Amino acid sequence: MGPKPQTPQSGDLFRFPLAEHLNPKHELVLLGDAMDWSEIERSFSAHFASTTGRPALPSRLVAGLLYLQHAYDCSDEIAVNTWVENPYWQFFTGETYLQIESPIDPSSLTRWRKRIGEEGVETMLMATIKAGRKLGLLKAASTDRVIVDTTVMPKAVAHPTDSRLLERSRQHLVKLADDNGIALRQNYNREAPRIAMQIGRYAHAKQFRRMKKSLRTLKSRVGRVYRDIGRQMDQIAESRQDAAKDLMHRVNRILTQATKDKNKLYALHAPEVECISKGKARNPYEFGVKVTVATTLKEGFVVGMRSMPGNPYDGHTLEEAIEQVSILAQRTPKTVIVDRGYQGAELEGIRILRSGQKRGISRTLHAMIRRRSAIEPTIGHMKTDGRLARNPLKGALGDALHAVLCGAGHNIRLLLKKLRLLFTFIVWAISGGRTMSRSTHQLAVG
Q: Residue 434: is its pLDDT beyond 80?
A: no
Q: How far apart are CA 219 and CA 256, in angstroms?
A: 10
Q: Residue 257: is its pLDDT beyond 80?
A: yes
CB 347 within 8 A of CB 337: no
More confident residue, 131 or 441: 131
Could you give the domains of the chain? 10-135+411-445 (no CATH), 142-157+274-392 (3.30.420), 162-256 (no CATH)
What does the pLDDT read at residue 283?
A: 84
Q: Residue 365: is its pLDDT beyond 50?
A: yes
Q: How far apart are CA 192 and CA 220, in angstroms?
A: 10
Per-residue pLDDT, averaged over 190-218, amounts to 96
Q: Residue 218: is its pLDDT beyond 80?
A: yes
What does the pLDDT read at residue 140?
A: 85
Per-residue pLDDT, averaged over 56-65, amounts to 90
Q: Give the pLDDT band of residue 212 (cuts 50, 70, 90).
A: very high
Phi and psi at residue 231, in whole multiples of 5°?
-75, -15
Q: Residue 409: is its pLDDT beyond 60?
A: yes
Q: Which of 37-51, 119-133, 357-371 has the lowest mean pLDDT?
A: 37-51
Report pLDDT digits (tens) over 138-157: 888 999 999 999 999 999 99
Q: Give the pLDDT band of residue 250 (cuts 50, 70, 90).
A: very high
Q: Give the pLDDT band of residue 423 (cuts 50, 70, 90).
A: low
Report the mean per-residue pLDDT for the chain.
Answer: 89
Q: How far is CA 189 from CA 87, 167, 185, 373, in A?
A: 51, 10, 12, 52
Q: Residue 66: is its pLDDT beyond 70?
A: yes
What does the pLDDT read at residue 197?
A: 96
Per-residue pLDDT, averaged over 275-294, amounts to 89
Per-residue pLDDT, averaged over 370-387, amounts to 94
Q: Residue 90: is its pLDDT beyond 50?
A: yes
What does the pLDDT read at residue 445?
A: 47
Per-residue pLDDT, averaged over 61-84, amounts to 95
Q: Residue 441: is its pLDDT beyond 80?
A: no
Q: Which of 36-50, 292-306, 404-418 has the lowest mean pLDDT?
A: 36-50
What does the pLDDT read at residue 1?
A: 46
Q: Residue 185: is its pLDDT beyond 90?
A: yes
**Highest-confidence range of 206-215, 276-285, 308-317, by mean pLDDT?**
206-215
What does the pLDDT read at residue 8?
A: 56
Q: Give the pLDDT band of residue 437 (cuts 50, 70, 90).
A: low
Report pLDDT digits (tens) over 153-178: 999 999 999 999 999 999 999 999 99
CB 41 within 8 A of CB 34: no
What does the pLDDT read at residue 432?
A: 62
What does the pLDDT read at residue 166?
A: 96
pTM: 0.87
Per-residue pLDDT, averaged over 45-67, amounts to 81
Q: Give the pLDDT band of residue 98 (cuts 50, 70, 90).
A: confident
What does the pLDDT read at residue 11?
A: 55
| Percent of the chain clearing pLDDT 90 (strictly above) | 71
Q: Which of 218-222, 395-399, 432-436 has the lowest mean pLDDT?
A: 432-436
